[in-house]
Amino acid sequence: MGWVVPLLLFVLVGVYGEPQVPCVFIFSDSLSENGNNNNLPTLAKFNYKPYGIDFINGPTGRPTNSRNAVDILTQLLGFENFIPPFANTSGSDILKGVNYASAAAGIRPESGSNYVLREFGLRECLLVGLGLIGCTPHAKSTNGLNVSSPSCVEDVNAAVSMFNDKLKSLADQLNQRFSADSKYIFINSTEGARDLASGFAVPYDPCCLIQNNGLCVPDQMPCQNRSEYLFWDGFHTTDVVNKIIATATYNVLLSSMFNA
């Protein structure tokens, strides 16, 4: 189903300042979802408990226990508030950016954002590749593998790898074509992903009780010690893992900006 496909890309524009970039535009799938689907006719919603159990105001539509990686990345960049979901953006909100991420659904960038992108000049564009989808609890359980074991659905990971190779060559091509005014940075999300498991007491099982579709069963108590789990539900990672991902991404972005 559509929401299996994680973060595709997000866009950072602008020059240095406070925050370190003036605005962030996010184009992605469920990994960066922060509420766009709440009022859409789709099953890919995360606005019910136990999602958001560690978030200030409870479930918001983020597919994790607290923040997603883009939330943490924008905090690291110095933004006071999270980038609002497209569904909730109006007026001058757009000046700091918009989150178009939508699990499974078809939100498209509006002409408004194209205008802003041109006005400020696109500077840095992160193309974040797919992660190891074949290692998610949902992929494992639907393919008859033992969810608690380190085994993964390797043909799914082979497809991920093909996709990422193409995304990387797209980034290379874009860099050649637009070298004067923008930089495209490919981020390899599969790099080191398997090693991450060794840092977690529970590296394979999800923290919440999952339904057949991989999402949390509504209103069930999740695991208590959430920082010891890598997976939150059948697809998505916990806040602690999102922090690791965001920090790595931030470091790549910083080194790119300072080598401009």
Chosen residue from 20, 32, 164, 249 binding ligand NAG by CB under 6 A: 164
Residue 188 to residue 12: CA distance in whole angstroms = 18
Residue 127 β-bridge partners: 9, 186
Cα–Cα distance measured from residue 141 to residue 131, given in angstroms and rounded to the nearest whole number: 18
Burial of 165 (0-12, 13-18, 19+ CB in 10 A): exposed
**Which range of residues in 4-12, 67-75, 224-232, 243-251 is near ligand NAG by CB under 6 A?**
224-232
Stretch that binds ligand NAG, among 20-28, 183-191, 207-215, 233-241 (CB under 6 A): 183-191
Q: Based on CB atoms, which residue is closest to ligand NAG, 38 or 249?
A: 38
* Shortest Cβ 21–ligand NAG spacing (Å): 21
CB 39 within 8 A of CB 102: no
Q: Quick check: is 138 catalytic?
A: no
List the one residue from 144, 201, 258, 259 that touches ligand NAG (CB under 6 A): 201
One symbol per residue from 121 to 160: x for binding ligand NAG (CB under 6 A), - otherwise; what is it?
-------------------------x-xx-----------
The closest residue (CB) to ligand NAG is 35
Residue 27 or 51: the one with the smaller Cβ distance to ligand NAG is: 51
- Contact range with ligand NAG by CB under 6 A, out of 130-138, 188-196, 206-214, 240-248: 188-196
Q: Among residues 28, 30, 113, 189, which one is catalytic?
A: 30
Which are the contacts of 200, defined by CB distance < 8 A and separation ≥ 6? 228, 229, 230
Cβ–Cβ under 8 Å, residues 257 and 125: no
Distance CA(52)–CA(47), nearest Å, equals: 8
In sequence order, the 6+-apart residues with CB closer than 8 A to the CB of 99 are 26, 28, 32, 34, 36, 70, 82, 83, 84, 85, 86
88 binds ligand NAG (CB under 6 A): yes
Nearer to ligand NAG, 14 or 233 (CB): 233
30 catalytic per annotation:
yes
Q: Is 179 exposed, middle or buried (0-12, 13-18, 19+ CB in 10 A)?
A: exposed
Residue (15 or 93) nearer to ligand NAG, CB: 93
Least CB distance from residue 48 to ligand NAG, whole Å?
13
Interaction site with ligand NAG (CB under 6 A): 35, 38, 60-61, 85, 88, 146, 148-149, 164-165, 168, 188, 190-191, 201-202, 224-225, 228
Which residues are marked as active site?
Answer: 30, 233, 236
